[in-house]
Amino acid sequence: MFVMIALLVVLLAFGPGSTQTPPVQKRTVAASSVTEVKRKSGKNHEIRENIRCHIEQLENDQALRKGRERMAFNAYLADFYRSNDFSPVWVKRSQISEMLDAIKSVEADGLLSQDYHLSAIQEFYENSPDTPFLKARYELLLTDAMFKLSYHLLHGKVDPEKLDSNWNLSEGVNGDGLAGMLRNALAGDSLAALIAQLRPKHPSYSSLKEGLARYRRLAADGGWGTVPEGPTIKEIGQYDARIPALRGRLEISGEIEQLSKVDTSYADEAMRYSVGLQEAVKKFQNRHGLQEDGEVGPKTLRALNVPVEKRVEQIRINLERYRWFVQKLEPTYLLVNIAGFNITYFEQGAFKWGSRVIVGEPFWKTPVFKAQMQYVIFNPSWNVPPGILRKEALPAIRKDPGYLSRHGLQVVDRNGNVVNPGSVNWASGAQSYRLRQPPGSRNALGRVKFMFPNKHLVYLHDTPGKHLFDKSSRAFSHGCIRLQNPLDLAELLLGWSGEKVRQTVSAGRTRRINLPTKLPVFLLYLTAVAEGEEVQFKNDVYSRDAAVLQALNSPFPYKTVESCTF
């Protein structure tokens, strides 16, 4: 009876009309699922192997072991994928979309979106790859783009050390922590937020970015025409057929308000130089580092006729220069803009003081570097630097024995003793002596110098030649930086009253005063800076812009490993 009941239960459970699945069918479905899992697992394994192969071939490529480029697609990628067992990380389409948006956005920073594989990634995004090899390539392009873009926003695309061996602001710059930050961003759906965090936020950088957008709009609208050459326009009421072209040029760049309607009944007046137009010319001259005399002479005309496309390039060049240093600025610092002939002092991030400066002439270029100011010397002596002694002073002394007395110079031997110039054989024995100018009104360093020890022997100092600060272009020194108002700076840095500074100077005694705290000093070279809503363009006095632009526009290297197929 028990056996019959059991058979009846089985028949009822699995007979006709039953909704249950026989056990054998369950085994079939389970087997199918396992097969599908194995198939997917096999494909994932192939993708991982393609990634691993690519990384290993990059690491073994000797050509990629030099320069900062290696970090972008070798060390970073290797560390990133080894820590992830070479597994794909770009598994969410939304994150790929964020990455595409980030790539497109760098055009606003003056970078080139194609450096970050925009076309290839866009193609894969729109047409999903269907083989493990292509999926691995898609993965690696995205990660390479992510690392490059992040690094370029943090430190710049162009390596400044390759352009200038004096550059020392890259010390300590590396990708430590970047891989972890990017990995966490991908894991937490915060990639866009991280890219925004890496982008420079300094007001000067942001304002210059806005300037780039404005000048690109001007270029898209056709830019401005040229003002023909001719005699200098300088007198109010002066008649010149080029006046309408001059006004039109200044209307486009915003120095003068655009006329809504032209009154042809005053055609003769339209050809005359007006007070309003002269003020617009002065404004233009101020924004381009020219003498603000209101005269349209050769220099002003040359600046007026620089095409808008060149100004766009100039802004891009200097956005790149900002990326080299702007995220390394400390809350309190001094910044000398060599190309702008000015110095600014920021205290806790706020502008505190500024002044005109004189920098090295093109033959004696002021170097670009960072150092720590440590002390101030009042009533300094000036020891003629070896380069000036060899190239200028000795040849002058051999021609004119009166050169020394005329410049108030003493001859000092190796023991520090002042000797009679007549006892020196200037033709062959001068290497045993140095020249010194004692403190006083004739001293080339003036009444104070500010010391930030460096291998270039460069410092900030006063000067008796105050008349040179009236010049618009002030590249007259042998490399050191002359200050227009040095006593004001001494007050600020030492926390002294103006009276105490003046008394110290009047005493005439050489005094060294240490700063309460060491102060970072940045000597930089910027030919375009933003002041509010205006872009100030500076003359490229050392002819350095072209090299930066060439490097900025050059394709960034990327190594595609085609042999990784399985």
List, by residue number, the catalytic residues: 461, 480
DSSP state of 539: -
Smallest CA-to-CA distance from 312 within 107, 511, 100 is with 107
Give the C-alpha separation, 43 to 222, whole Å: 53
Residue 211 CA: distances (Å) to CA of 216, 217, 384 = 8, 10, 44
Give the C-alpha separation, 248 to 304, whole Å: 11
- What's the token pair of residue 334? 């001094």
Contacts of 259 (CB under 8 A, 6+ apart): 247, 251
Q: Give the three-class secondary structure for 423.
A: helix
Burial class (CB in 10 A: 0-12, 13-18, 19+), 214: middle
Residue 12 CA: distances (Å) to CA of 1, 24, 52, 97, 377 = 17, 17, 57, 56, 107
- What is the per-residue DSSP string for 16-50? TT--SPPHHHHHHHHHHHHHHHHHHHHHHHHHHHH
Backbone angles phi, psi at 404, to 5 degrees: -65, -50
DSSP3 helix / strand / coil % (the chain, rounded to 5) = 50, 15, 35
Give the C-alpha separation, 547 to 534, whole Å: 25
As a whole number of Å, the end-to-end CA separation of the chain is: 64
Q: Beta-strand (E) ranges in 392-438?
A: 410-412, 418-419, 434-437
Neighbours of 141 (CB within 10 A): 20
**Is the alpha carbon torsion for 537, 108, 312, 156 positive or negative?**
positive
Burial class (CB in 10 A: 0-12, 13-18, 19+), 39: exposed
